[in-house]
Structure 1
Amino acid sequence: MSAVRIEDFETACTALQNAFRTEPSYWYLACKLQDKPLSLAIDSEENIDDLTRNFFTHYHDNGAHIMQSGNYATIAIWVPPEIDVPMSRTSDESFNKIFFDNSLAVKQRVIPQGMKYYYLFMIGKDPESPVKGSVRSMFENYIEIADRERIALVLEAISEHARDVYAHFGFVNYNTFHYGIGEVSASGQLDSNGEGHTGYLMVYLPK
């Protein structure tokens, strides 16, 4: 099994929608990064799917590598170092500090000066697909590229489970960050006393 560029836009988009539809931490990030009210994500699955399509279309149209493995079982959006996909700062400056400013500082500290990196914006395994091993195939493909080209891989894990999966492939957590505190509960509901969510900025450095 290998990771290859997608040929079917709709199939790939649907797979990502299926993967993220029930993930509350993603709801929060999707609304924030698109400057939408947090209540939007709670209202309906259709709203979540629309937000995912917005991401997918934006990265696709700006030249990111949209990859699939396992016959569209796993979809990943990789931004190679030679591509600049614009991502505007949000209207929430506290979020900007957490997600943009602090993350940039960590990357500058961790990644050796002059070393380029691939950024994994999204990766999702379609829960409706019976194919096994597609996530492994995706990561093994890019780890081979990283080691061969002496290039880093960077991502944010938005759950403990995801963090542990990425750690298995050699990614190291360099920054545990918290977002949505006082805005949402762990289940994604609006809550002024909510504990929010925890994320992890992880980097793979070439061997």
Structure 2
Amino acid sequence: MEPKPQMLSKPQITSSNSPEYRHRLADISARACLSDPLNMLFQAERLGSMSKVTIEAIYDASLYRIESKVKSGSLIVEADNFAAVACWEPPGAVRLKYDVEELKKLEKERPVYAGFIRDIETARNRFWGEDQKCWQLSLMARDPLRTSKGAVRAIIEPYVQRAKDEKMPLWCVAGNERARDVYAYFGFKVINVIVSGKEQVKTWCMVCNWPVE
């Protein structure tokens, strides 16, 4: 009698917006994205071109962003004890947007980042309008020190399926080619490419389940 093949266990998934989860998401994002051109571009503009971009600087920026998103209704989801972690914004979350005066002030202080924000909003509004509700993948990172299989799938695939069950589209912005290709594997398609700074750093606006199935 032939032995039965062993079934690979799926990574355990948990969700929480606790301070520990916010810290872990910011920490993993900082370590995973330290050398990403987009992060380096924004942090160099914020800190000064002569300053060295550090994990601590990216951690602080990531945590600030995460805190804001959690307050607006986002969810932090991790798989296999933080082998991979993501921030998902459900359709009912409050979208955080700069008003006209805030954006003008930001343009004076950080013109490259302000232009990026404008371009993202323009791409989104041109594609499906300002009021379209959707699931949004805001942050996703895999711990570079972990080799857990299936962790990224565990924090993306169920939410893609959930959005389809709810008849909702999904939106994300990929900050590097690796992330773009991962999202494409789960059904996201590029609808716009944004180019930032004199370095011509590319960012990919992507959607999934559109038109809605």
SS at match of 2:204: strand
The residue aligned with 1:104 is 121
Cα deviations by residue, 1:18-55 (Å, 9 ceiling, x for unpaired): 222232322324566xxx23438634332222222222
Query: What residue in structure 2 maps to residue 161 of structure 1?
Result: 178
CA distance in 2, matches of 1:59, 1:38: 26
Whether 1:23 aligns to 2:36 is: yes
Equivalent pair of 2:25/2:85 in contact (CA under 8 Å): yes
- The structure having more radius of gyration, on CA atoms, is 2
- Asked if 1 retains the 8 angstrom alpha-carbon contact of 2:73 and 2:90, the reply is no
Q: Does 1:57 align with 2:67?
A: yes
CA distance in 2, matches of 1:103, 1:51: 19
Rate the CA distance shift 1:29–1:169 in 2: closer, same or farther, 3 A. Answer: farther
In 2, the alpha carbon distance for the partners of 1:144 and 1:40 equals 45
**Unaligned residue ranges in structure 2 (runs of 5+):** 1-10
Counterpart of 2:83 (choices 58, 64, 73) is 73
- Residue 48 of structure 1, aligned match among 47, 58, 61: 58
Question: Residues of 2 paired with 1:94 and 1:18: CA distance?
Answer: 23
Alpha-carbon distance between aligned partners in 2 of 1:56 and 1:112, rounded to the nearest angstrom = 25
Aligned to 2:202: 198
Partner Cα distance (1:172, 1:154) in 2 = 9
Q: CA offsets, 1:164-207, max 9 Å, x none? A: 121111111010110022xxxxxxxxxxxxx3311110001243
Q: Distance in 1 between matches of 2:97 and 2:155?
A: 24
Cα gap change, 1:38 to 1:66, in 2 (>3 Å): farther
**Structure-1 separation of matches of 2:68 and 2:125:** 26
**Is residue 26 of structure 2 the alignment partner of residue 13 of structure 1?**
yes
| Count of aligned pairs | 190
Change in 2 beyond 3 A, CA 1:55/1:104 = closer
Deviations 1:102-135 (A, max 9, x none): 4334333434897521222211111112312111
The runs of 5 or more residues in structure 1 that have no matched partner are: 182-194
Whole-Å separation in 2 of the counterparts to 1:120 and 1:141:
12
Deviation of the 1:2 alpha carbon: 5.4
**Residues 20 and 130 from structure 1, CA distance in 2 versus in 1: closer, same or farther, beyond 3 angstroms?**
same
Equivalents in 1 of 2:142, 2:91: separation in Å? Answer: 24
Partner of 2:162: 145
Three-state SS of the structure 1 residue aligned to 2:153 is helix
> Is the 1:2–1:138 contact (alpha carbons within 8 Å) kept by the matching residues of 2?
no
Q: What TM-score does the superposition give when structure 2 sets the normalisation length? A: 0.75
Shift, 1:156, TM fit = 0.9
Structure-1-length-normalised TM-score: 0.77
Amino acid at match of 2:146: S
